[in-house]
Structure formats: C-alpha cells, structure tokens
Structure 1
Amino acid sequence: MTLHKKLITFTLCWTMLVIILGAYTRLTDAGLGCPDWPGCYGFLKVPHKAEKMEIAAARFPERPLEHHKAWNEMIHRYLAGTLGLLIGALFVIYWRQQKRLTALPTALLGIVIFQATLGAWTVTMGLLPIVVLAHLLFGFILFSLLAVFWLQQHPSWRNTEQHLRPLLPLAYAALIVVFLQIALGGWTAANYAALACIDLPLCEAGWSSRLAFAEAFDLHLGHDDYEYGVMSQDARATIHVLHRLGAVITFSVVAWFAWRLYRVAQTQLMQRLAQAIALVLLVQFTLGVLNIVLHLPLANAVAHNFVGANLLMLLVIACYQIRKPQGREV
C-alpha cells in the first residue's frame, strides 16, 4: 500500500474518531464547555492555574469554567483541527500527483474548511440548532465522501456488475430517506427533544392533539443561548414523533433496497455490501429503540450517532458502486 493510500485510510479512521467524540461532546452538554473559539476562555488550552482561572472568570462571568466539559470540547477541537490538516495534506499530495484539481479532493477540502466555520458558529451563536444540525450533516457528508475517495484508490474493492444499474433509483431513494432521517434526528438532538416522548410506540396519551408543527420547525432566531433548548414541550414532542415515524419509513425503504441488492448481485463483494447495509440498519433501529426504553444512556446515544453516519456512508458507497462500475472515476 502506498503512502497516499495509507494516509487516506488513516484519515478515514480519524474522521470516525472525530464523529464519535463530537457526539460525546454534545451529549455531555459540553458544546459550550469553552464559550469562545478557537481557544478556551482566551487560552490555547483549558486553564487550570489559579491566576488563569481568575482571568477566565472575569472574561466570561456568565459561564463558569467546568473543566470536564471544557476538556471534552477542546479535545474535540484538537482532533477536528488535525483532521483538517490531514485532508489538506491529501489535497496537496493528490494535486501534485495529478497535476490538476479534481472534484473529490477539492470538495473534501472545501467541506472541511466549511466544517471549521460551522464549528466556530456553533460556539459563537450559542448552539443555534440550525448551525448544530448543519455541523452534524456536513460531518457525515465528509465521512461518506472520504469513503468514496478511499474506494477510488482500491480497485479490487470496486463493483464490476453492470446489470445492477436498474437498482440505482431505489439506491438513491434509500440514500435520500436516510439523509432526511439523519437530519430529523439531528434536529431532534439540537433542540433537546430526544426524551420528549418516553412511551412506545409513539408518545404519551393525547400526543396527536398537541402537535405543534410551526414551532417545531421554526428557527427560533434571536436568542443568546440555545443550550438545553428554547422550544415548548409540545414542539419537542412533535419533532420526536416525526423522527420515530421516519425511522419506520427508513427501515422499510432501506431494508427493501438491501434485499433487492442481495438478490440481484452476483458477486460476493456486492452481496456483502447488501448484508452490511441490512446489519447496520438493524443495529441503528435497535439503538433508537433502546434510547427510548433506557432514557438516552450516553454510550447508546453516541453509538446511535456513529452507526447513523456509517449507514449513510454505506448507502453512498452503494450508489457509487452501482452508478460507476468497473473502476471508472468521477
């Protein structure tokens, strides 16, 4: 394996780590552990000495320093910054090899720069839900495109079955449904609605008479701080119910696609891809149910986020494999 391929593999694994730690940071309510950016209370690392802590308290009297939250946030920033450097290195290496700009490395560089901007806005805008959601979605998109980039460098992993192209519309449908469901899940999390309903299968008695669609999808601009949410309970329950209904639709569409792909595919490679999609889908659905039954345990919630990212990535790979067989590049 060449150094370039090793670097892509390492960057892909590093992105997984950033996604996991990003979810952990949000779920431990550490998104504003450092109320400024890119430092922490005006320092490059979390202040611990008494004199620095006094300075931090004077700078942000409204947000007392909590070391565990601050370190969660800063470690995530360090890892995300390193990811930016890794993708920058990939871009430069690929550009020097190809002697021209190509779409995918350029897109990866652009997305990681935009991700850094979203990361800054997440803090400076006080966890504004639409910014938090965008940060989540572009992180997942970055992960998926990195997986495609890795696939392009490994021809032995490429699909050779031309006859799978009729499955492409269903593959796209599954991808879109999963993306929308992730967006709805991200909106649920960003508005602290994950525990708005704790009964199964949908919500507590009388939920249908309390739906508040207008408030549930209002951006609620103008607040200084969105930590712990600004929506009413009815609006949060509305988002939560829609996310549950979306889970059923997503499970049905993706399961159907995985089944069709498995039945039509003739190579072990594509059959295993179908099996992987089905397995990850089942795990994700189970984790979602456990989030409700167990009242959002931290490890389970982090896993739900990470498995969702992998489900999206696998469907992006499936679409790419079906659309571009025989190793043809974008």
Structure 2
Amino acid sequence: MNAELIDLSPVLLLAAIGLALAAGPILWLLRRQRHASTPQRLRALTLLALFLTFDLIVFGAYTRLSDSGLGCPDWPGCYGSVSPIGASPEIHAAQTAMPTGPVTHGKAWVEMIHRYLATGVGMLLVVLCAWSWRAARRATGSALASVPVSPGWSTLSLIWVCLQGAFGALTVTMKLNPGIVTLHLLGGIGLLALLAVQAQRYTAALATPASAANMPGDGLWPSPVRLTAGLRRAVLAVLLLVIVQVTLGGWVSTNYAVLACTDFPTCQGSWWPEMDFTHAYTWRPALGLTADGHNLTLATLTAIHVTHRLAAFAVLAAMLALAFALRRHADAPARPYGAWLIGLSAWQLASGLSNVVLGWPLLAALAHTAGAAALVAVLAALLAASVAPAAARRSTFDADGTTPSRPAARHDARPAATPESA
C-alpha cells in the first residue's frame, strides 16, 4: 500500500458532507414517522439505509465500469482537496498529459460522488446505531429485550461500513487490484444483507398483535414465514450459491473479462474455446497482470468469463427450483418471495445475455449488478423471516414503543364458575 496516497486532512470536511447528505433523508423520515413508535422509526431508518446501500452498490459499479476508480488517485480526498473543484489544477495537468487516462474532470467527479454517498450511508448508520442503543438504555427491565432488534446488529453494520471504507482506500492505493476491488464489492453486498435481515426482523417483531394496533394501516406488515427445516436449509444453500456467483461475477468485472466472449451460447465461435485456468484465479499483483507479473492473455480472460457463465446455469436452476417450492408452499407469506426469485432470475438472465450480445455492456452490467444485490437482499430477508425473533416472543410494546407492556394476567385453565355450576 502506498502511504503517500492517503491524506487524512479532508476527513472532517468529508464527514460534514456525509452528515449533510444523511440529514435530508433523516429529517424526511422523522416528519413522515412523527406519530410512529420508536421501533417503527428504527425500522423505517433501517429500510432507508438498505435502499441507499443498494443505490451505493450500483453507483460503485458505475464508478468501476466507467473507469473512474482512479479519477482521484489519492484517498479520501482528491489531490488533498475535499472536491475536484479544489483539485482543478492537478486534474487539468493530468488530463492534459493523458487525455484518455484515468484522471479527468468527469471521472474525478464520479469518484468523489461515490465517496460522498458512501460517507452519507456511514453517517446514516451512525445515527441508526446511536438511536438503537438509546432505545435500549431508556427501556426498563432487560434493555436488549425491550427493543425488537438487538443494538448489536446496528453496531455490526457500523463496524462493517467502516471496514468498507478501509477497502475503499485500498482500491485506490493498490491501483484497482482485482482482488481488493472484488472484496470491496462483496463487502457492499454483505452490508446489504445485514440491513435486509434487520429490516425483516423489525417487520416480524412489529407484526405482533400488541403492536399492530398502533401501526399505520399500510398493509405492509407480513407475518413471519413458516418454512420446514429442509426448505430453510435450501434457502441458505441458494443464498451461498448466489454469493459465490457474485464473487465470480465481480472477478469477471474487475479483470475486465466481460467481452472475452461476444457470442452466446458459444464463445468465440466455439463450445470450448482456448482457456487458461492456471492464471485465471490467482492473486494479482496489479490489474492486468498474472501472479508472476506477466500480462493476462485472452485465454485467461476467457477462462474467467466461461466459469462465471457455466456457474450461472447452476445458480439459475437452483433459484428457480427454490422459487417454485416457495410458490407451492402452504404458508401464504412465503409465496411472494417465490415470485421475487422468479422475476429476479429472469432479470439476471436477460441482463447477463445483454452484456454479451447487445454491445452495450455498461448499462447491462449495472442492471446485472443491481439484480445480484436484490437477490442477496431478498434471500437474506427470507432467511430472517423464517426465524421468529426472540424479541417478538418475549415482549410486546407500549404505545410509545420504548417500554415493554406488562404481561397479561395468567388465567386458570379451568372454566370459570357459572351460576348453574355453583
């Protein structure tokens, strides 16, 4: 890692920009949820963080695929400035020296907007974490049992996004090393899954009869999904398969192997073109190089592309099998998840083929990344929905959502005496 590329002087200004970006959505949410309980507001804030993280993943893919990842070749600012405006002389000099190089005014703005959005999501998670712990501390009795989701979840999300920031720095200092960039993508997908689990657990906890009376009548409060043990294991298995496929897809993207095959179902006019698997999945010292420092060959890029393509068929079959199993499931809340999986499978197939045969890989690749992120979120939410949260079983909530209600009086199992029995 090149320490000279890290300049922490703009950190406070970047944090202020991120806080300003987060303040707008938070104020809008507070106004919209002004009559809601604390758990309902925490759920809404989690959903907001989930939505913005999804957007950040897609914009991160655009940053990478538009070759803007080194638009500002230092971190966290741009040539030590908080924006490309302050770095205009340096950017102009770099662009003059290399008009089509990695540093241009447009690419610098794309890169810095991505950093602003990432900082905004980080500040949003700071607020979510602080609010979760405040709700726990204000509750009487057991702090962690008095809120529908343990504050540990939001704390883990905050730690996770900080690690993402560290990987963001490494993508710059290590000059878009494919391994680091792929891990950065997986980190974003992991954060999305974490937030999807939290949102679903809030939803399940707030769907209890005691809290349903205090909720707005929007009809968006599904019951927990009851799955058999075998079907729950199938959901977990498909989620892991999707994550493996996302990793393979990230490796294709970060090595720029998308156009190694420009036809389908064949590749380079052959069912099994020349491929070099020896150097396909080794750690790279730099972008475009093998582990021993030689340039990547077309055969290596073809091997990377074909591996992802073949794995896609297996993952697609697994997703469709799970989707139809959910559609046949007797539990009605499970069926919409099956519809989501069928729709997203079709989306991924169409966007993946578009990458190859339509000649517009940027738009198709963004759609493909968005579909992969949505698949992970849906499967993670389904897995969380299939397990009833402990908080929902242990306690109910008062109207303000901050303290547990007193348990109902225990009734004797025998029928009450009637005048006739007396």
Tell me the TM-score normalized by structure 1: 0.89
Alignment RMSD, CA only?
A: 2.6
Aligned partners of 2:70 and 2:102 also within 8 Å: no
Picking from 157, 160, 178, the partner of 2:242 is 178
Distance in 1 between residues matched to 2:166 and 2:389, nearest whole Å: 36
Determine the C-alpha separation between the residues in 1 that align with 2:80 and 2:180.
23
Letter in 2 for 1:220: R
1:165-244 correspondence to structure 2 within 5 Å: 165-206=229-270, 208=272, 210-221=274-285, 223=286, 230-244=295-309
The verdict on how the C-alpha distance between 1:328 and 1:39 changes in structure 2, with shifts beyond 3 A counting, is farther
The residue aligned with 1:107 is 156
**Is the 1:194–1:296 contact (alpha carbons within 8 Å) kept by the matching residues of 2?**
no
Q: How many residues align?
A: 323
Q: Write the letter of the residue equivalent to 2:200.
A: L
How much has 1:206 moved relative to structure 2? 5.0
Q: Which residue of 1 aligns with 2:29?
A: none
- How many angstroms does 1:7 deviate by? 2.0
Deviation digits for residues 53-92 of structure 1 (CA, Å, limit 9, x no counterpart): 158748x978674011110000000000110111111111
Determine the C-alpha separation between the residues in 2 that align with 1:64 and 1:215: 26
Match of residue 69, structure 2, among 4, 25, 31: 31
- Report what 1:98 is aligned to: 136
Deviation per CA, 1:199-254: give whole Å up to 9, x if none: 11141145736221120001122x3x559x95221111001001110110010001
Q: Distance in 2 between matches of 1:54 and 1:304?
A: 35
More displaced stretch, 159-168 vs 307-316:
159-168
3-state SS in 2 of match to 1:214: coil
Asked if the contact 2:58/2:366 (under 8 Å) is kept, the reply is yes
Equivalent residue for 1:287? 351
Show the counterpart of 1:255: 320
SS of structure 1 residue aligned to 2:267: coil
What residue is the counterpart of 2:169 in the other structure? 120
Partner SS state of residue 199, structure 1:
coil
Which amino acid is the alignment partner of residue 128 of structure 2?
Answer: L
Q: CA separation in 2, counterparts of 1:251 and 1:15? A: 25
TM-fit CA distance, 1:9: 2.4
Separation (CA, whole Å) in 1 of partners of 2:227 and 2:380: 19
1:48 shift after superposition: 6.4
Identify if the C-alpha distance between structure 1 residues 209 and 9 changes in structure 2 by more than 3 Å, giving closer, same or farther. closer
Q: Could you tell me how far 1:325 is from its partner in structure 2? A: 7.1
- For structure 2, the residue ranges without an aligned partner over 5 or more in a row are 1-35, 138-143, 145-149, 208-220, 395-422
Distance 1:136 1:214, change over 3 A: same
1:320 to 369, 372, 384: 384
CA distance in 1, matches of 2:373, 2:234: 20
Q: 1:13 is matched with which residue?
A: 51
Structure 1 residue 134 corresponds to structure 2 residue 199: no
Corresponding residue for residue 60 of structure 2: 22
Cα 1:246–1:274 change in 2 (3 A) is: same
Change (3 A) 1:191 1:102: same
Q: Is the 8 A contact 1:202 1:244 kept in 2?
A: no
Amino acid at match of 2:158: L
Preserved CA contact (<8 Å) 1:158 1:325 = no
Matching residue of 1:53 = 89
* TM-fit CA distance, 1:143: 0.9
Q: 8 Å contact 1:178–1:312 — kept in the other structure?
A: yes
SS class of match (2:228): helix
Q: Match for residue 309 of structure 1? A: 373
Q: Return the index of the structure with the highest Cα Rg.
A: 2
Structure 2 vs 1, CA of residues 82 and 245 (structure 1 numbering), >3 Å: closer, same or farther? Answer: same
CA–CA distance in structure 1, aligned partners of residues 103 and 194 of structure 2: 37
Assess, with a 3 A threshold, how the Cα gap between structure 1 residues 292 and 29 changes in structure 2: closer, same or farther.
same
Matching residue within 305, 315, 329 for 1:264: 329
Alpha-carbon spacing, 1:102–1:8, altered in 2? closer, same or farther (3 Å): closer
Letter in 2 for 1:171: V
Gaps of 5+ in 1: none
- Contact 1:184/1:243 (CA < 8 Å) preserved in 2? yes
The equivalent of 1:151 in structure 2 is: 200
Paired-residue identity, %: 36
Q: Per-residue CA shift, 1:17-52, capped at 9, x if unaligned?
A: 211211111111101111000011221100368xx5
**2:339 alignment partner in structure 1:** 275
Question: By how many angstroms is 1:110 displaced?
Answer: 1.4
Q: SS where residue 306 of structure 2 aligns?
A: helix
Summarize the Cα distance change of 1:83–1:201 in structure 2 as closer, same or farther, 3 Å threshold.
Answer: same
Render the CA deviation track for 1:134-192: whole Å, top value 9, x for unaligned. Answer: 11011011112111111222233454454533301211111111111110000000100
Structure 1 residue runs of 4 or more that deviate by more than 6 Å after TM superposition: 60-64
1:321 partner letter? A
